[in-house]
Structure 1
Amino acid sequence: MTSGQQWALTSLELRLDAWAHRRLASLGGRGRARGYLLEFAVFTVKQAWACVFGALMLALLLGTHLWYPEGVALSRSDALVLGAVAIQAFMLLARLESGRELWVIVLFHLVGTAMEIFKTAVGSWHYGGDGLFWIAGVPLYSGFMYAAVGSYMVRVFRLFDLRFDRYPPRWATALLAVAVYANFFGHHYVVDSRWILLALVVALNIRCVMHFRNHRSRPWRRMPILASFLGVAFFIWVAENIATFAGAWIYPNQAEGWELVPLSKLVAWFLLMNISVVLVTFVYRPRPLKAPEGPQGLEGPGEPAPLSR
């Protein structure tokens, strides 16, 4: 697979990109404010598509929480597992996702499930109910919630043609990600290093700037990569509140009734973003803004090639 193919879009994403091009090209000289509003609308639509796996998972959680019948042979947790598998299978069969990206999502699933098994064992949170598709007290649908984060990450790399200035060495980001992951386990037995790790994540990435564009014909926009970490961490926190409201899992402070997940959890999700980006960059290598042009049109100007099957 060439570098250009690596960044290619699915057929549906090509149609979405063409729609964005038509809308943005229609601006002409109609004013800067209108242009910003339209670009924001395109940005929102593309972000929504990037979140499609997570949005469908949340819909499953809420739907089964509100309307799943009691007393049926198939438990709710097993129905959630089968529903999550069906979503993943549909996205592959409909060619909305590539096999290469599936490996990243599976890796997120495995990393997340391992942490779930440990965290439930030490009482950080717990799952109610029972079913067939459980392992060590954890329903297998839990791993799909981590996979939803992986699905989002690989999509935004494609949809916004992400580039980076002063991206830190990948070996350094990988070592730090391992340390962050280890601390999720180790802080139950030794000193909690999350604040030290948080400082290291900030120090390692503080000079890195992420560039994106709503369409290949539009100007580059930029933001500090740490701002993107914080933004995604916030929306994961919002999704976590929806999921706990739907009874996907329960924190100790929610045992007597649902309440908001503490904002302090943002620190954990911010650290998780470091792990997430590292996992994705081993499939989609971070590229600088001024990358050499390639034959597929994605390393330089031009339209994206369709996804290689």
Structure 2
Amino acid sequence: MELQPLLNAVWIRRIWQLFIFGYQQAMSCIFPVIIFASLALTKVISIPYVHRYDLLLLICLFAQIGMVVFKLETIDELKVICMFHIIGLMLELYKVHMGSWSYPGEGWSKLFGVPLYSGFMYASVASYICQAWRRLSISVYGWPRQRYAVMVCAAIYLNFFTHHYLRDMRWLLTLLLIIVFYRTSFAYKVGGREYRMHVVLSFLLIGFFIWLAENISTFMGAWAYPDQEHTWHIVHLGKISSWFLLVVISVIIVAQLKRVKSARDGGNPAL
């Protein structure tokens, strides 16, 4: 038996699997891509008497409606996304008030200095997680007890607020996260074949790509950090840890809601 044809077949299969995985990831990113495209478009094109932030809000609203109408998102996923919109908007209001970043442009849809479209940036993360979960048929192995997962989620979210007054506990929370989720992994299917990834690694990878997206967003004027007000430059690498922890919150909330829905529908509540 010749080895070369077999090796060729293996590589072709791997490339095909990678293509399918990339396609599913791209389909899961439709909402974030719409937001990025809108940021780019509104940076070079303006409509008379319409502020940029207000136009972005209208685009996001129509995009969200379209996602549901064209069945790219389910009603249950829409509920989760709306929850993230509120969670994100609360965080934005606090962070802008504390001077962590700002939205210097004008807009009728700004609330205490925060344009309402900003909540959709957090909602787009939830949209990606929900769609990737469904498209890749994700299942979870070794999920910790519910009270531990909820406590970690609450502590991480609270730290985003308290670190302005108390010591920043992100590294301690990261260590706690690794301990609580040390047995947890995601299983996902690509072309009928199952793969596994440790949950902490998936958090880190998503956080890294959000950090890349953040650099694009600040370059296009979505918001500005204090040191970017005069000249844009790359967002500090330390922000990856913030996005990493935000992804943790997002995934835990989505996972817990799916667990509750499964139990409500008479399925197995265990992930």
In the superposition, the TM-score normalised over structure 1's length comes to 0.80
CA apart distance, 1:29: 10
> The residue matched to 1:269 in structure 2 has which SS?
helix
Indicate whether 1:176 and 2:157 are aligned: no
**1:90 aligned residue:** 66
**1:207 aligned residue:** 183
In the alignment, residue 112 of structure 1 is paired with which amino acid? G
**1:66 aligned residue:** 44
CA apart distance, 1:171: 2.0
The root-mean-square deviation of aligned C-alpha atoms, in Å, is: 1.9
In the alignment, residue 120 of structure 1 is paired with which amino acid? V
**1:56 aligned residue:** 34
CA apart distance, 1:206: 2.2
Whole-angstrom CA distance in 2 between matches of 1:232 and 1:205: 17
Whole-angstrom CA distance in 2 between matches of 1:29 and 1:201: 40
Whole-angstrom CA distance in 2 between matches of 1:35 and 1:64: 41
Indicate whether 1:36 and 2:1 are aligned: no
**2:250 aligned residue:** 276
Indicate the structure whose relative CO is greater, using CA pairs within 8 Å and at least 6 residues apart. Answer: 1
| Among candidates 116, 131, 136, match of residue 160 of structure 1 | 136
The answer as to whether partners of 1:173 and 1:274 remain within 8 angstroms in 2 is no
The answer as to whether partners of 1:157 and 1:284 remain within 8 angstroms in 2 is no
In the alignment, residue 213 of structure 2 is paired with which amino acid? A
Whole-angstrom CA distance in 2 between matches of 1:31 and 1:86: 45
> The residue matched to 1:212 in structure 2 has which SS?
strand
**1:76 aligned residue:** 52
Whole-angstrom CA distance in 2 between matches of 1:252 and 1:163: 41
| Among candidates 85, 93, 104, match of residue 117 of structure 1 | 93
Indicate whether 1:248 and 2:222 are aligned: yes
**2:199 aligned residue:** 225
Whole-angstrom CA distance in 1 between matches of 2:210 and 2:146: 24
Whole-angstrom CA distance in 1 between matches of 2:215 and 2:187: 30
In the alignment, residue 243 of structure 1 is paired with which amino acid? S
In the alignment, residue 39 of structure 1 is paired with which amino acid? Q
- Unaligned stretches of 5+ residues in structure 1: 1-27, 287-293, 296-309
Whole-angstrom CA distance in 2 between matches of 1:221 and 1:40: 12
C-alpha distance after superposition, 1:38-83 (max 9, x if no partner): 00000000000001100110110111112225xx211010000000
Amino-acid identity (%): 37
**1:299 aligned residue:** none
> The residue matched to 2:21 in structure 1 has which SS?
helix
The answer as to whether partners of 1:170 and 1:278 remain within 8 angstroms in 2 is no
In the alignment, residue 68 of structure 1 is paired with which amino acid? S
**1:138 aligned residue:** 114
CA apart distance, 1:282: 2.9
Whole-angstrom CA distance in 2 between matches of 1:123 and 1:48: 34
The answer as to whether partners of 1:212 and 1:221 remain within 8 angstroms in 2 is yes
Whole-angstrom CA distance in 2 between matches of 1:95 and 1:250: 34
CA apart distance, 1:30: 6.3
**1:149 aligned residue:** 125
Indicate whether 1:237 and 2:211 are aligned: yes
**Deviation >4 Å, runs of 4+:** none
**1:45 aligned residue:** 23
CA apart distance, 1:124: 0.3
> The residue matched to 2:258 in structure 1 has which SS?
coil
The answer as to whether partners of 1:187 and 1:193 remain within 8 angstroms in 2 is yes
